[in-house]
Amino acid sequence: MSKDRKSLAVYPGSFDPITNGHLDIIARGLSVFDEVIIAILINPEKHPLFTVDERLAIIREAFHGDPRVRMDTFSGLLVDYAEKVGASVIVRGLRAVSDFEYEFQMALMNRRLNPHIETVFMMPAEGYSYLSSRLVKEVFQLGGRVSELVPPVVERRLREKWAK
């Protein structure tokens, strides 16, 4: 059966920085959808370690030219962004039960805001169930090893950041 339109999913988040848990979810997303847009929220209220441009550059390097993965930034409502780019699916990762309540609230609010956009939850490999960008930054800053938790470009960028 041939498909006229490619299925497109948005994978939104802060990605400060992207971790192997995020990469795992993106790979799973690509096993279901033709294309995934990694959409970085521009949030002036947060004080990220990496600027939006740095996060975009990191993600670009991590995927070096995979045509099925696009990267972008957005501000405002996620559902408005998804509609603008023509995506009918939002992908979110669920690591543990502790993620569920917040994700459930967001998914239902997004559905209320735009019932045509569906949220799809994907579970990362068990080994990433405790992994978060916040912990990666903390562990790295305190001298712990993060090489199995993030792509090489992130480890390099973390080193550069703290060398400054």
Q: State the burial class of residue 68 (Cβ atoms within 10 Å of its Cβ: 0-12, 13-18, 19+).
A: middle
84 Cα distance to chain centroid: 18
Instruction: Among 13, 94, 111, 114, indicate the residue that binds ligand PNS (CB under 6 A).
Output: 13
76 Cα distance to chain centroid: 17
Choose between 77 and 125: whose C-beta lies nearer to ligand PNS: 77
Instruction: Among 12, 29, 93, 151, indicate the residue that binds ligand PNS (CB under 6 A).
Output: 12
Catalytic residue among 46, 47, 116, 164: 46
27 Cα distance to chain centroid: 11
Residue 53, Cβ neighbours under 10 Å: how many? 10
- The residues, any chain, with a CB within 8 Å of residue 58's CB and separated by 6 or more, are 15, 17, 18, 50, 153, 154, 157
Q: Which stretch binds ligand PNS (CB under 6 A): 11-19, 48-56, 124-132, 152-160?
A: 11-19
Catalytic residue among 55, 95, 137, 157: 95
Site for ligand PNS in 49-88 (CB under 6 A): 77-78
Q: Which stretch binds ligand PNS (CB under 6 A): 7-15, 62-70, 118-126, 146-154?
A: 7-15
Catalytic residue among 92, 133, 137, 157: 133
Choose between 51 and 159: whose C-beta lies nearer to ligand PNS: 51
Closest CA to 55 of 160, 154, 163: 154
The site for ligand PNS (CB under 6 A) is made up of 12-14, 41, 77-78, 106, 109-110
